[in-house]
Structure formats: C-alpha cells, structure tokens
Amino acid sequence: MKGRFSVVGIGPGDPELITRKAARIIGEAGVVAYHAGVRKQSHARRIAADLIPTGAVEEELRYPVTTGTTDHPGGYVGALADFYDECDDRVTAHLEAGRDVVLLAEGDPLFYGSSMYLVDRLRDRFETEVVPGVPAYVAATAGLALPLVRQTDVLTVLPGTLPEPELARRLADTDGAIIMKLGRTFPAVRNALAAAGRLEGARYIERASMPEERWLPVAEVDPATVPYFSLIVVPGDSGREATGERMRKTDASVSRLAALAPHPADARETKAAELLVIGLGPGPDGWLTPEASAALAEVDHVVGYAPYVNRVPQRAGLTRHASGNTVEVDRARFALDLAQQGERVAVVSGGDAGVFGMAAAVYEAAEGEQYADVPVRVLPGVSAIQAVAARAGAPIGADFAVVSLSDRLKPWPVIERRLRAIAEADLVLGIYNPASRSRREQVVEAQKLLLEHRSPDTVVIVGRDVGRAEESLEVTTLAALDADSIDMKCLLLIGASTTRVTRSGAVWTPRWVE
C-alpha cells in the first residue's frame, strides 16, 4: 500500500501554538520532511523539534536559492521548479514504499506556504491531508492586542512584492490589511502606506510569537533591520481615524453611495468647488493626457466605476470612491454633493468622458436648482474608437457615426432605426457595447440589419482590449463576422462602401466620395 501524505501547519513559532491534531500526527510520523533556507537551519524543524519521534527518517528540503542570484539557465523560476521536482521525487519515493510522510509547514500550510507546491504535485497520486495551523498574522495581531477588523470591515492580505502603486491603491481601498513578504520590499511598502494615508496606525511585527518578538510603528522601523519573518498590521480602526467615518467606504452599491453622500446639515459655509469630469483614455498610462494627469494630482476625491478608479495612482490625501457599472446618476450626485461642500472632486471615465461616459450623467444629475452653484468642467480623453481606428489605420478618415447597442437606456427599436439610417447613408459605423453576458442578441440582429443594406464584403474591424496587454485586432467582413465571439471588451468598426484594405493589412476610408 502507498503511504499517506500529511502537511501539518505548526504555527508562527511558539511550539505551544501547535494544535493537538498537528502534534499527534507529527508524533506518529515515520518520515518527517521540512524546508530549510540557504545555509540556514530549518525554522519548521526547530518549532516542532520536541515532537519528532526519535526513530523518524528526516528529509531536509533545502532551497538552492531564496533572494540571491542564481546561475541556473532558467533563472530563479527555473531553479525553484527544479527544486520542487526534486522534493517531489524524494517524498514520492517514501510514499511509494508505503511510508507515511509528514511535511512540516510554518504558519498555515496553504497561506503563502512552500508546502502548497508539493500538495499540488502529490494530492492526485497519494492520499493527502492538510492540517491547518495558526497563521503568522493571527499571532501578530494577538500580540498587539489590537482589533484587526470589526463588524462589516473588509480585511485584505497583501504581499509586499506588489508594485508600489498597486499596493498603495489596495491599501486605500480596504479597512484592515496585513502585508506579508517584507525584507527588501520594506521601503516600497512604507511608501505605499504613506501614499494611501495609512502609515499612521500601521504596526510592524517581526518574529511574532517567538521569544525575540518585537513590534514598532512602521514609521520608526530601520529598513536595514527587517528580516523575512516580519509583517505589517494595518488595523481597520486606523482607516476610520485617517479618513473619517463619512468617507471610509468605497462600496459598489447605490445604497452605499447614498449613505456616503454628504447631508445638507453637514454643509460647510464655503464656496462650491469645480467638479471635474475626466477621461482616462482606453488603458495605457501613455494615453492619459497631461491635462488630465495634472488635474488628478490636485483633487482630494476620485469617484467612478471601480476599474477606472483603480487606474488612478494613489497618493497621500486622496480618497477613492468606487462603485458599480449601473449607478451612473447616483455616482454623479454623490460627486456633486462633495463639490458643493468645497471638496475637490474628479469623476473619471474610461476613454473620453463625453463619449458614452460620465459627462452626460453628471449634467443629468446637475439639472435643476440643487446644484446650480457647482461648476462642471469636462477634460477630454482618447476615446476607444480613436484607439481602435489608429491601430487599424485610418478607417474613420471620412464621415462616420457612433452607436451603442446597449438598450438599457433606450429601446431597441430606436437603435434599429438609427442603424438603418446610418447604413442607408453609407457611413462608417463605430459600435460601442456590442454585447454582454446577458445581452447577446443585439449584435446578431445588428449584423442582419446591416447586411440588408451593405455588401457582405464590407470591411469590419474587431478591436478587443486595445491598448492593454490582451489587445487583439481582427479585420474581417460583415458576412464573416462571428457575432458569438463579441463581448463588452470589443469595439466594432463597420466600414463604408469606400473603405479599403491595403496589401499590408491597414484599413482606411478615403476622404472623397465619387
């Protein structure tokens, strides 16, 4: 019979935090395996030393590299892949021989643990059990005796290896946070905490639950002294202290936006600030205009659909308010309320805010006397149709029209009439929002309608995620267009009768009509 593979969490360092189940399994082990760092003794073995049976076979799985350089032809990733293959072979040999193997894992085995890579390799071939352990951050927060999160607070666990801007954004968008994987990343992590307005109140803990445990405010830590066994705790309470209860949540629901909105009783006796509506472009930072970038650097609040708010770099003093995709007017009213109280606010949109973006929603919300004193200014951005057209060549070099196929705000018969009129006028047609998960028929119907008026050979461009890593551009025909492959990430350009494709594959439409 094959042996049983057990992965046992042994907690953060204090042997008394090993669970009774983990202690029993270790005490019955015939083979005990554990990882060890380069030229270091295994911390896992040290924690569980008193539990390992005298006659047990020990398998030390020593890393070939951790944070240093390697001459492996595959670099760090290749060296680690070979290492885990070797670990697999060594453990498999025992299991195939019928010997049970217990792998010691610091903290919890499946929480940023090295043991998970062996679990991935072995669980389908051998009987496998994972015994949970006390994670390091639990011991750290217990040692500080500070509540981490309360009631509806959101807790986010972050690796310090994230890019600094991404780390700052996520810290600004959560209540409580744990930051793991410090060491050389510590300076960037501290910068991210400062940018998110969360440095004050953040606590640094090293070697939690061990005799040499120590903690400090993050602002007082010497980066040169930060070991691997360290982490940062950002209590949820510190977020409330830093930003105030009124502004601390960044939820996506209409009710949350309503709850966040300032009340008339809270209004300051100050002049309303100008509300900016900013187009961020289709994606790349290089497509954000200098005017927009400068404006975003000056505001105190950013309001918008979550994926667009996420694109705005976090910095100290900036409060983010992200919401869902179907609450445009509520979002606009929320921003207007802030501006009315003198807050510097930017409402952001992808592409150009005036092209199926937030600009119209802001003006809709601002109708009437309630917001008559709030000036609104729209800053242009590169639109999605411009980006797709530029990638393809010059398909909108002549007269063109733009239509959204979404029937959420207008009935489908209206869209049909407009498509028919554009087709009969022989204009190049840009189609936004062609399809979604729940809305699949509109693009099929649009294709049928256009084929009633246009040649089957009419040039069609399908731009997907243009400007992003997943970008693709397809040039096809109206008859060959695969409507089932179209989704919300796509923008379609339907050529006019004069639209042409060059030998190199570029698409262009002449400026003249014969």
Domain ranges of the chain: 5-133, 138-243, 271-379, 385-508
pLDDT score, position 353:
96
Greatest C-alpha distance within the chain = 94
What are the residues whose beta carbons fall under 8 Å from the beta carbon of 153, sequence distance 6 or more?
175, 176, 236
CA proximity to 31, closest of 83, 82, 104:
104
Kind and range of the H or E run holding 103: strand 101-105
Assigned CATH for 385-508: 3.30.950.10
Nearest CA to 202 out of 159, 231, 169 is that of 231
> For residue 343, how far is the Cα from the chain centroid?
27
Q: Which pLDDT tens digits describe the chain residue by residue (514 residues)? A: 899 999 999 999 999 999 999 999 999 999 999 999 888 899 999 999 999 999 999 999 999 887 667 888 888 888 889 999 999 999 999 999 999 999 999 999 999 988 999 999 999 999 999 999 999 999 999 988 888 999 999 999 999 999 999 999 999 989 999 999 998 899 999 999 999 999 998 999 999 998 889 999 999 999 999 987 899 999 988 766 554 443 434 333 334 454 455 544 444 467 899 999 999 999 888 999 999 999 999 999 999 998 899 999 999 889 999 887 778 999 999 999 999 999 999 999 999 999 999 999 999 999 988 999 999 999 999 999 999 999 999 999 999 999 999 988 899 999 999 999 999 999 999 999 999 888 889 999 999 999 999 999 999 999 999 998 899 999 999 999 999 999 989 999 999 999 999 999 999 999 998 7
Query: What are 180's two structure tokens?
Result: 């793991």
**Structural contact between residues 288 and 387, judged by C-beta atoms closer than 8 angstroms:** no
pLDDT digits (tens, 9 = 90+) for 188-228: 999 999 999 999 989 999 999 988 899 999 999 999 999 87
* Token output for 204: 């640094």
CATH of 138-243, one of 3.30.950.10, 3.40.50.300, 3.40.190.10, 1.10.3720.10: 3.30.950.10
Q: Which residues does 188 contact at the CB level (< 8 Å), separation at least 6?
A: 160, 164, 167
Q: Which of 91, 131, 126, 114 is nearest to 10 (CA)?
A: 131
Q: Which burial class, exposed, middle or buried, applies to 202 when counting CB atoms under 10 A from its CB (0-12, 13-18, 19+)? A: buried
- With the CA atoms of 259, 260, 264 and 267 taken in that order, what torsion angle do they form, in degrees rounded to the nearest 10? 160
The answer to whether the 5-133 and 385-508 domains have the same CATH topology is: no
pLDDT of residue 182: 93
**Rounded (5°) CA angle 296-298-304:** 40
Contact 27, 6 (CB under 8 A): no
> Residue 251: its pLDDT value, please?
37
Query: Does CATH place domain 5-133 in 3.40.50.410?
Result: no
Domain 271-379 adopts which CATH fold? Cobalt-precorrin-4 Transmethylase; domain 1 (3.40.1010)
CA gap 464, 461 in Å, rounded: 10
Strands 428-432 and 400-404: parallel
Question: For residue 476, what is the enclosing H or E element?
Answer: strand 472-477
Contact (CB, 8 A) for 342 and 271: yes
Q: For residue 244, give the nearest of 108, 343, 104 by alpha carbon.
A: 343
Query: Where does residue 248 rank: exposed (0-12), middle (13-18), buried (19+ CB within 10 A)?
Result: middle
Residue with tokens 């310090």: 160
Is the separation of the CB atoms in 27 and 35 below 8 Å?
Answer: no
pTM: 0.75
Query: How far is residue 210's CA from residue 423's CA, in Å, rounded to a whole number?
Result: 74
Phi, psi of 142 (to 5 degrees): -65, -40
Residue 1: its pLDDT value, please? 86
Q: What is the pLDDT of residues 148-183, one digit of tens each?
A: 999 999 999 999 999 999 999 999 989 999 999 998
Residue 248 has a pLDDT of: 38
